[in-house]
Amino acid sequence: MSTLKKFLLGFAGVAVVLALVFMTARRQIGEALFTRVAGAQVGRDNTLTLGDGLHVAICGAGSPMPDPTRAGPCVAVLAGDHYLIVDAGAGTSRNLQRMGLPPGKIDAILLTHFHSDHIDGLGEMMLNRWVGATHTEPVPVIGPEGVDQVVAGFNQAYALDSRYRLDHHGDTIAPLSGAGGRARTYALPPAAEGNEVIVLDEGDLKVTAFRVDHAPIAPAVGYRFEYKGRTAVISGDTAAADSLVQASRGADLLLHEALDPDLVGILNGIGRSKGLRIIEAITHDILDYHASPEQAAEAARDAGVGMLVLYHIVPPLPLPVLYPAFLGDAPSIFDGPILVGEDGDLISLPAGSDAIETADLP
């Protein structure tokens, strides 16, 4: 037998032995890997690692259109001991857990308006906040007129589930008094008298709601967060609006929704060519109540903000190679940094500093 044949036979024998070892040990290997990953993830709390400042984390940068990389609209705002959520799109509560931002620590949820994609994860968010820390009082859900109807509906829909969890886990884990949400409604002033109202003013943190243009949806608001000299603004859903520019004056950070009309126009053409009447109609109708990346850049420029982050991305952008087409002329309009938002993005504004720091919470 030649040397080569002996080598090949020996190699094949080793491969067979290794394959048998792997087949025998794969359960143990899987359990070891699971133990390692679970040990690193379970109980992870990134809120404990944040320095003093205003921190904005994107728990959902998507829209109603299905995007494998982005959940529904959701932004977490952390400032000192405060942990607030703006909107609760589908999948965002699970994103918070993945990002190491425990829902059980949420102080309040603020809603910008009541389109389904901004509230379809609210029930799960309230549930995970409740049992995540054995809360004995419902989470405050703060919003403009109509929020009481939304919260009451979710409370009713989850009433059976809440009782099941109490019966299963007991009062020490799921006290019924803490289930669901408690609506807290505020009223915007008449348009002729102004566009803003302070909705939270606690210690160093002030939160102001301001009217935006999402007609025919009304009320629709954005929020301005101020903490120890740092400011972040979240637009909610809006077309180009002077009220947003005014509310964003001098802000360090502007999170602005964005829809690219050229890319949506391509979807419209595809819908028309395939005879998909509903897709054709919707991709036409959504153009007039959202802002383009260029309009968001104009708002950031005119308001003099430090950084622009685009979220509520329309259409879906599953690959970064699509970002330049989505941004269009925005980088030539606003000369500051522009970020196309992704789930897990963290933007930090340290107190006592002008720095804007970005990171990822995978």
Which residues are annotated as catalytic? 117
Q: Could you write out the DSSP letters of every residue in 79-106?
A: ETTEEEEE---TTHHHHHHHTT--GGG-
CA neighbor of 314 nearest in space, from 254, 265, 271: 265
Query: Are β-strands 307-314 and 338-340 bridged in parallel, bridged antiparallel, or unpaired?
Result: parallel
Q: In what order do the strands lie in the sheet with 307-314?
A: 196-202, 205-211, 221-227, 230-234, 253-259, 307-314, 338-340
CA neighbor of 55 nearest in space, from 348, 254, 311, 306: 348
Which CA distances in Å does 145 have to 52, 122, 139, 149, 197? 33, 17, 18, 9, 13
Cα separation, 32 vs 68, whole angstroms: 29
For the record, the structure tokens of 310 come out as 């685009």
Partners of 307 in beta bridges: 253
Q: Where are the alpha helices (DSSP H) in the chain?
A: 3-41, 92-98, 116-119, 122-132, 147-157, 159-169, 242-247, 261-273, 277-285, 293-303, 323-327, 330-333
Residues 179 and 161 sit within 8 Å (Cβ to Cβ)? no
3-class state of residue 150 by DSSP: helix
CA neighbor of 60 nearest in space, from 359, 343, 360: 343
Residues 261 and 292 sit within 8 Å (Cβ to Cβ)? yes
Cα separation, 230 vs 213, whole angstroms: 25
